[in-house]
Amino acid sequence: MKTESESLFEKAKKLIPGGVNSPVRAFRSVGGSPFFTKRANGCHLTTVDGQELIDYVCTWGPAIHGHNHPRIREAISNALEQGTSFGTPGPAEVEMAELITEVVPSVEKVRMCNSGTEATMSCIRLARGYTGKSKIIKFAGCYHGHVDSLLVKAGSGALTLGNPDSAGVPDSLARETIVLPYNDEQAVEDALLENKDEIAAIIIEPFPANCGLILPKPGYLEKLRSLCTANKVLLIFDEVMTGFRLGIGGVQERTGVTPDLTAMGKIIGGGLPVGALGGKTEIMDYLAPLGPVYQAGTLSGNPLAMAAGIESLRILKEENPYESMEKMGTMLAVGIIEIAKSHGIALQVPQAGSMLCFYFSESQVDNFDQAIACKHERFNTIFQKLLSSGVYLPPSSYETCFLSSQHNEEIISLTLEKIKSAFSSL
């Protein structure tokens, strides 16, 4: 007899491409059918079949306070009383801009949009308009949303489905994108030299989190900053995933490396659709209506999303959960490594704050090629074992696990017990 999730998925496949509205949700990488969620609270999901799961996806990052936080729910409810959309400027947009510019080191002005993809797309257009140059450097395995020119050697769902170079992207557009290996300073120097005065920007996930979690080698981000400055190239940090999560100011606060433009999203929507781009005033003022670079959106600065995002940032400022989440992330990562060692299994668990991943590899993973060379079938086995025992990891070994402030020592200990049991099956 089919479960309710299986029945819903069969119906969904007749109505929605692949049965899902975002590809990685289809469980193609890990096998089996996806579960359907009926509610979420704290660090748990409850499926339509009644199974309660400890959640290490956290709606792919935004749920830093856990699911269904009462203050965020109340903020949305209060905003809803005033209307769902105005199509005019609203006071919450100004408050959100004040909060972001206060905490993100590189941001002097900010423009709201509706998704991380819109944010990175707008950063690229703005960089080209500001510099008058057309080529972009990105890094293999870094995913910047489903923007045509950036779906080249992409990570996340594109990589999970084995198709990092998407159909539908014209060769002429792809040729404007130079793809380099992450953590290779010389490759960047060579590309800048070979394409002198043609590069508008370098866009990077400073901590790539869409092909697992790759950490920069010491000095790498600093070198990118100096190379961009020397070559009059804009440095764009895609902090859609790391922003407000690895510190309220993101990677740039954590490392002290300041980009020219920053793409943001996820946490600043409090669980509702949102994106933002921000940077130096001189660059941001190239956006319409002040400048010649056009960018617009009917629902940009939507009052419900602004209310949820403002409350999310307020909670971060008031509660400052980063030290606690770092502690929980370290506890989980160290515990997983110890379990793997006890079973004689080679495993790397890179971790930064409340983010970590599984690399079944003998050695440290520093780039895309090393990430895809890992033994992903082992992750798939672990995923299924944990799911059946009540722990939900991202349904792809190329994705990153997220913790929330609701993941406490008791939850981490319980998770490690279940991981220990799952590893015995390897």
Cβ-based neighbours of 336, under 8 Å, separated by 6 or more: 347, 349, 358, 416, 419
What's the number of CA atoms in the CB half-sphere (13 Å) around residue 273? Answer: 10
Size of the chain, expressed as the number of residues it contains: 426
Give domain limits for the chain: 70-318, 340-351+359-379
pLDDT of res. 156: 53
Instruction: From residue 279, give the alpha-carbon distance in Å to each of 41, 135, 204.
Output: 35, 20, 15
Catalytic one among 56, 130, 143, 398? 143
The 3-state DSSP class for residue 252 equals: helix
Catalytic one among 138, 220, 238, 366? 238
C-alpha to C-alpha distance for 218 and 352, rounded to whole angstroms: 14
Token match 């949303």: residue? 145
Catalytic one among 135, 266, 385, 398? 266
With b for 16 or more beta-carbon neighbours within 10 A and e for fewer, the 192-217 pattern comes to beeeeeebbbbbbbbbbbbbbbbbbe
> pLDDT tens digits for the chain (426 residues)?
899 999 999 999 999 999 999 999 999 989 999 999 999 999 999 999 999 999 999 999 999 999 999 999 999 999 999 999 999 999 999 999 999 999 999 999 999 999 999 999 999 999 999 999 999 999 998 989 877 667 665 555 554 444 456 676 777 777 788 999 999 999 999 999 999 999 999 999 999 999 999 999 999 999 999 999 999 999 999 999 999 999 999 999 999 999 999 999 999 999 999 999 999 999 999 999 999 999 999 999 999 999 999 999 999 999 999 999 999 999 999 999 999 999 999 999 999 999 999 999 999 999 999 999 999 999 999 999 999 999 999 999 999 999 999 999 999 999 999 999 999 988
pLDDT of res. 153: 57
Q: What is the DSSP letter of 184?
A: -
Q: Quote the strand ranges of 273-404, DSSP E.
A: 275-279, 351-352, 355-356, 391-392, 401-402
Name the CA dihedral angle for 391, 394, 398, 401, rounded to a multiple of 10 degrees: -80
Q: Which residues pair with 287 in a beta bridge?
A: 293
Token match 């293999």: residue? 140
C-alpha to C-alpha distance for 52 and 385, rounded to whole angstroms: 15
- By CB atoms closer than 10 A (0-12, 13-18, 19+), residue 150 is buried
Active-site residue, 184 included: no
At 136, the amino acid letter reads I
pLDDT of res. 148: 64
What architecture does CATH give domain 70-318? 3-Layer(aba) Sandwich (3.40)
Q: Which residues pair with 138 in a beta bridge?
A: 179
Instruction: Determine what percent of the chain falls in helix, strand and coil, rounding each to the nearest 5.
Output: 40, 15, 45
Question: Cα-flanking dihedrals φ and ψ of residue 179, to 5°?
Answer: -105, 125
Q: Which residues pair with 204 in a beta bridge?
A: 237
At 6, the amino acid letter reads E
Token match 């790391």: residue? 242
Active-site residue, 238 included: yes
Instruction: From residue 67, give the alpha-carbon distance in Å to each of 30, 43, 56, 222.
Output: 24, 6, 12, 36
CB 224 within 8 A of CB 202: yes
Q: Report, in angstroms and rounded to the nearest whole number, the Rg of the chain calculated over CA atoms.
A: 21
CB 159 within 8 A of CB 142: no
Active-site residue, 165 included: no
